[in-house]
């Protein structure tokens, strides 16, 4: 696929997904969720500091080609985002806490952006184009990666900034036990990891009684190794948009602004 100019094309927006290990971006058809360019990926700079991350976002925009000043640009980030400020920083530099992040990106890019939490973007995309498409009722999306991201979607409406990865279970912030990075850190096999996930999802069900749970994050492509090990009355399914969900959701949010 060609990277290139997106000016004058209806239903197109740029989506950029900032993660603890990589920063990805693409041009998205916001009517269908389809990527309309190559997906550009650059490693997240060591330390995850604001200036360095913003510089990578600028590089990604350049690689995507020139963007008309009216084209929507959405950026999602692994932290609580309220009115353009990042209020937390679980797996990035602590400098992001209370930081005017949206302003920094807009200054560096010379372009307005829409700035949202990464799991909110992914969950929103799954509810529109992926595993939760056409689902009424309460959908919980969880992303199992460096941390645990979460999104609450009720009848297609997102409740922003749910931080359910940080539920305290057995006295600990449970993303430190049940994220995919915890599986790797503790050398857990699928069964051992599933025991922790069982505890985590039992707690989510007890508190929210969702109609559907969607499990995303890179590891969701290996869902056959761990989802069948879980015993839940609630339907639990793998995300279908894989690594593109954040990009698609960020672009979609931007297109609605």
Binding mask 56-85 for ligand BGC (x = CB under 6 A): ----------------------xxx-----
- Please, what is the minimum distance in Å from the beta carbon of residue 133 to ligand BGC? 21
| 145-174 residues near ligand BGC, rule: CB under 6 A | 145, 147, 149, 163, 165
Give me the least distance between CB of 78 and ligand BGC, in Å please.
3
- Bridging pattern class, strands 168-169 and 172-173: antiparallel
Give the range of 8-16, 53-61, 142-150, 198-206 binding ligand BGC by CB under 6 A. 142-150
The smaller minimum CB distance to ligand BGC, of residues 87 and 237, is found at 87
CB closer to ligand BGC, 91 vs 114: 91
Identify residues 84-123 at the interface with ligand BGC (CB under 6 A).
88, 90-91, 117-119
Mask 175-214, x = binds ligand BGC (CB under 6 A)? x---------------------------------------
Cβ 173 to ligand BGC, closest distance in Å? 9
Tokens read off for 129:
């184009």
Q: Using CB under 6 A, list all residues that contact ligand BGC.
A: 78-80, 88, 90-91, 117-119, 143, 145, 147, 149, 163, 165, 175
């Amino acid at each position: 696929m060609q990277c290139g100019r997106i000016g004058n094309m209806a239903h197109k927006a740029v989506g950029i997904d900032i993660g603890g290990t990589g920063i990805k971006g693409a041009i998205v058809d916001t009517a269908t969720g389809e990527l309309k360019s190559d997906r550009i990926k650059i490693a997240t700079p060591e330390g995850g500091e604001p200036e360095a991350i913003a510089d990578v976002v600028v590089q990604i925009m350049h690689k995507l080609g020139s963007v008309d000043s009216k084209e929507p640009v959405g950026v999602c980030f692994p932290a609580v985002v309220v009115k353009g400020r990042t209020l937390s920083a679980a797996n990035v530099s602590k400098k992001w806490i209370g930081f005017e992040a949206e302003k920094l990106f807009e200054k560096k890019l010379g372009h307005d952006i829409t700035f949202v939490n990464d799991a909110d973007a992914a969950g929103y995309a799954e509810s529109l184009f992926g595993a939760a498409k056409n689902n009424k009722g309460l959908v919980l999306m969880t992303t199992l990666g460096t941390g645990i991201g979460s999104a609450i979607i009720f009848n297609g409406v997102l409740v922003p900034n749910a931080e359910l990865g940080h539920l305290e279970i057995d006295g600990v912030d449970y993303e430190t036990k049940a994220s995919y990075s915890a599986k790797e850190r503790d050398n857990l096999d699928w069964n051992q990891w599933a025991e922790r996930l069982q505890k985590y999802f039992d707690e989510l069900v007890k508190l929210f009684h969702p109609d559907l749970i969607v499990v995303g994050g890179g590891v969701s492509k290996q869902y056959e190794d761990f989802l069948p090990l879980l015993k839940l009355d609630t339907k639990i399914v793998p995300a279908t948009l894989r690594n593109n969900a954040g990009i698609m959701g960020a672009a979609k949010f931007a297109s609605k602004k």
